[in-house]
Amino acid sequence: MTPMAFVHSPLDRKANHRSDAGWLQQRRAARNAKFIQVHGDAVRMQEGKLAVAAPASAETPLVFLGEEAGGTPWFAFAGNSEGEMQALRPLMVGGALAPAELSILAQARSLVHWHEKHGFCAACGQKTEMSDGGYRRHCAACGADHFPRTDPVVIMAVQHGGNILLGRQKAWAPGMYSAIAGFMEPGETIEQAVAREVLEETGVVTGAVRYVASQPWPFPSSLMIGCIAEAVASQITLDEKELENARWFSRADVRLMLDHKHPEGIHASHPWAIAHTVISAALQ
């Protein structure tokens, strides 16, 4: 099992049932139904475990997340219970939750965030209503439908002559290096986005691109697309607005950095992030 966070959801999303209000009501009333409360980046916990009680009001809009094998339905809703909310990132880093729960939380956090930000129609400005178990918002005033968004990000290990290019941002922990990354733009292929981001941030020209893996990243709703790119030359011209530094590292250095055993005290991304997976794949 990959150590990446957020990729182990056990839920069947039952997408072909979600527009059936009667079916959803039945799932909501199921005695074993679980309800996750989300507020911003935080989730409601109780005595070190994920709280799964139903919201106090039956009117609270619910997002249907899916069903576990055996039929346990999961829902999510927005709400703040001060003192019991814990931020998702430290829960991920600390390993307090099972991989499956963390993955369900990623879906919950991204969807609830989208609903909180899309209460009004982008076409006409009137109020929208949640529909299809949370996978659509409908505007009764102009008839427009709005759908939850996912923001693709390319993240890549760049190779040249046996070395691997990694960069670091100023805001990161001292000594931390990672794969180059950036948001895709409309009208781009994944391969074009990889080439553009690497060129913009490091000045390195790349050729062939190979897909490795992907990871939902719910801060708030990214999809990380992990790739390996082959550089055609090694010259670095740093964009100092984006990166504090970028360097070519030998494969031996990168192995030590991933294991946090490098003598210079430098290290590479942690296993819960796809950067670790992508950099490891480049070492194969």
Least separation in angstroms between CB 145 and Zn ion: 9
SS3 letters across 154-212:
EEEEEEECCEEEEEECCCCCCCEEECEEEECCCCCCHHHHHHHHHHHHHCCCEEEEEEE
Q: Which residues bind Zn ion (CB under 5 A)?
A: 121, 123-124, 139, 141-142, 144
Compare residues 23 and 135 and give the one whose CB is closer to Zn ion: 135
Pick the closer one to Zn ion by CB: 127 or 260: 127
- 200 near 242, Cβ under 8 Å? yes
Asked if the peptide bond before residue 220 counts as cis, ω within 30 degrees of 0, the response is yes
> Please, which residue, 87 or 124, has the CB nearer to Zn ion?
124
Least CB distance to Zn ion at residue 60 (A) = 24
Cβ-based nearer residue to Zn ion, 144 or 236 = 144
Looking at this protein, which amino acid is placed at residue 188?
A: E
169 close to 245: Cβ distance less than 8 angstroms: no
Token digits of residue 157: 């290990």
User: Measured from the CB of residue 119, what is the shortest distance to Zn ion in angstroms?
Assistant: 12
As a whole number of Å, the end-to-end CA separation of the chain is: 18
Residue 114: CB minimum distance to Zn ion, A: 17
